[in-house]
Structure 1
Amino acid sequence: MAGRDGQRRDLYGEFYLTLSMLWAILIGLSALIVGPCISRLTRMIFEPALLAFTTSSSEAAFPGTLNKLEKFGVSPKIASFVLPIDYSFNLVGSMAYCSFATVFIAQACNVHLSMGEQITMLLILMLTSKGMAGVPRASMVVIAATLNQFNIPEAGLILLMGVDPFLDMGRSATNVMSNAMARRLSAVGKANTSAQAVGASRRSTRRSRNALPPKTQKWRCPDNA
């Protein structure tokens, strides 16, 4: 029992440490593209992410996330169309959780996985985690299917029953944050592309009039964000 409790504590610490690093990478990369106002987006998304954390459900935070993105300046058409797709395919937190949980069960059951098997497991989880419902315990179905592929006893799922609710909270909050960041980046990319197209059209027109072309206007952080 003491050994199992120690393994669970290690799972807690390592999983949330990984999520912290993942959040830092997401925010850092977004800051390089969006700029300093990424801190505003992070503050605005904190409320939906907290709701997802407390309910262990990213679906519960969907309306709030959509509303915050629109307030931040994302086009309602882009947000309302792409965000539901992200909820099915951009599941960074779910992928991380399923990977940790599967390896944890394998180690607890004394099942050795070679490096090749671990890589194969990651590839399988990348596919099977897509379309996962954003509700509590939905990841257990994906984990059970993956265990069967590597001859890991499915009875090991019992070891997760006590810790799954606490780990599921971090998974849900990470999914919300990654989806919000992805939508903001795609909106910035579209805005810059549109601005470049307009600038090119104006330059072509002004060249014909022997006038100096104006500077291309790129996306700027909204003042009311």
Structure 2
Amino acid sequence: MRRFEFSYKVDVPAVKGGSADSNSRRYGITDSSLAARNGYGLAAGAEAHPATPELGADEQTVLYGEGASSLDGRAVPQGGCIGEANRGLDAHSPKGADFTLTQQLGFTSFQQTQQDSRVRKVVRAWSDCMAGQGYHYANPLAPLSDPKLGDGTGADAIATARADLDCKTRTNLVGVSFTVESAYQQRLIEQRAELVKATKEARDARLRVADSLGQA
């Protein structure tokens, strides 16, 4: 972007773990101390995505490579600056990698887990437990999008979250779901072993290039 005399910078958020990590809510809320304070709300500072800069038409052309093939007499790289950057990152990567693989496997394993009879049984037990305390939800993800709980941080939401976690503890919902899904994930990894290996090698090669740029 500097080569085309544009200033382009995206703030990169600090890596956050624990309750700010989306995986911590894969089976609904799991953090009892956070739930006692915030209900279904996220911890302070848990915003995952920084704002992206506003771009003019020429900046979008250069960044994405969509539109004019040149700007002020200079050729726009194929795929724009993003395309050029990706080609540089992948210059030493093996062929056959798929950087969407982890998302694909994660989605597939989650779907398989939700259909598994052991998980369906424990979800029903959790739902019955919640009903016994006056809360009616079909599954542990339902409260996260319940409009009656507003932004998820009010008194009703906190009370619901406390019951939610109590029922998760009583039924061992998280333990059962995690164990079952881990087995499905392991099977998927074994079935796609060569693709997993190639993708890991390509990721490692990308990181080596990125590290060398950071040291330049």
TM-score category of the 2 structures, normalised to the smaller one: under 0.3
The higher radius of gyration belongs to: 2
The structure where helix makes up a greater share of residues is: 1
TM-score by length of 2: 0.27
TM-score by length of 1: 0.26
